[in-house]
Structure 1
């Protein structure tokens, strides 16, 4: 099979975990291992039924329990196993972790403002977003390479880690990653492989993708 046709039609679904208690409290999670709420489990169950209809070939997940429990709902529906990888964990945010947004702004206002301006900031003394991408994107691509043609990979991870991975895979400069916006709990983004590589097909979706009918398919 020549290089221009290898792997055509593969799809990557990047799925954020369900709701947690700290989400409800606007508390910064980072790599802290927080469980799902009852609503978060219900969100994962609903989303899993939809994603199962895409007939995924493989599931890989962050080993943090909120992502692992979300992935488990899809595994139950599809019968697939789950591979866990710490490379898909959320960005480590040091002393910010466990604080509410208001507490972070009060204690680390300049650092918070610089981060919101898109400057490279080690939030709370933790990781840079580019460092998160350095570990997360290769995990996604490594598993995607194992897919058959037209195969689908589901990656269960965290909002920030997903955004940085998408940005890196699409070849965007890091200062543009914020333009992708956030993912709601248990929503997903889909990368599809076309003639010129990976492209973003869906973002922050909670429904199944519709075919693109028109001149830009």
Structure 2
């Protein structure tokens, strides 16, 4: 699902929410509605100051509290309204949700290893990664299509949802999505529009994107 018609130069910034207590505990959150910690709010404020300098044209976010609070930091600096959408929530992971990483390995070891190998797995009886992309990627594309030429959309979401959405927008097969790696709290990835669709320009970044200068730009 490569989006965009070449030449418009639009940009999508996919921004993960700030730190939560469950992040610190390495506890699987999924769709559980966990708030930011004080440190997470500080992360959001710092990142918002950087992202505001990109002069985004639009912003959408997951409706879970950790994403809402993160988005509000950028909204307060830019004056942008935020479109909240449940389709941007994190992966629903059923019985995995609320468990620590160690508990998941102990109780669902084979399932975990199958997932890491890139096999389609309903973690804890929840969603497949392709189903997450099925719900999230069209929302992102729909809002990106509304951007002016050279415009920027900020998407405030969750690590798993962002990774699967990037994989879908780049046209990668699902078993390769794990190769993208995760995002740290309040870091972001940037997709830029090229002649053949979307290109990954930055991944797990915490500083302002720099242009690619060289023979492969």
Q: TM-score, normalised by structure 1?
A: 0.97
Report whether the alignment pairs 1:32 with 2:65.
no
Report what 1:203 is aligned to: 203
CA distance in 2, matches of 1:89, 1:96: 16
Look up the SS of the partner of 2:156 in the other structure.
Answer: strand
What per-residue deviation string (whole Å, max 9, x for no partner) do you get for residues 104-144 of structure 1? Answer: 11111111111111111000000000000000000100000
Report whether the alignment pairs 1:55 with 2:55.
yes
Per the TM alignment, residue 210 of structure 1 is displaced from its structure 2 partner at its CA by: 1.1
Report what 1:15 is aligned to: 15
Report what 2:70 is aligned to: 70
Per the TM alignment, residue 155 of structure 1 is displaced from its structure 2 partner at its CA by: 0.1
CA distance in 1, matches of 2:94, 2:155: 25
- RMSD across aligned positions (CA): 1.1
CA distance in 1, matches of 2:5, 2:88: 29
Structure 2, unmatched stretches of 5+, are none
Report whether the alignment pairs 1:46 with 2:51.
no
Report what 1:87 is aligned to: 87
Look up the SS of the partner of 1:156 in the other structure.
Answer: strand
Report what 1:114 is aligned to: 114
Look up the SS of the partner of 1:142 in the other structure.
Answer: helix
Return closer, same or farther for 1:100/1:5 CA change in 2, 3 Å cut-off. closer
Look up the SS of the partner of 1:165 in the other structure.
Answer: helix
CA distance in 1, matches of 2:141, 2:15: 15
Report what 2:101 is aligned to: 101
Q: Is the 8 A contact 2:11 2:192 kept in 1?
A: yes
Report what 1:190 is aligned to: 190
Aligned length: 214
CA distance in 1, matches of 2:20, 2:156: 15
Per the TM alignment, residue 216 of structure 1 is displaced from its structure 2 partner at its CA by: 1.1
Return closer, same or farther for 1:5/1:166 CA change in 2, 3 Å cut-off. closer
CA distance in 2, matches of 1:6, 1:106: 48
CA distance in 1, matches of 2:80, 2:41: 18
Per the TM alignment, residue 95 of structure 1 is displaced from its structure 2 partner at its CA by: 0.7
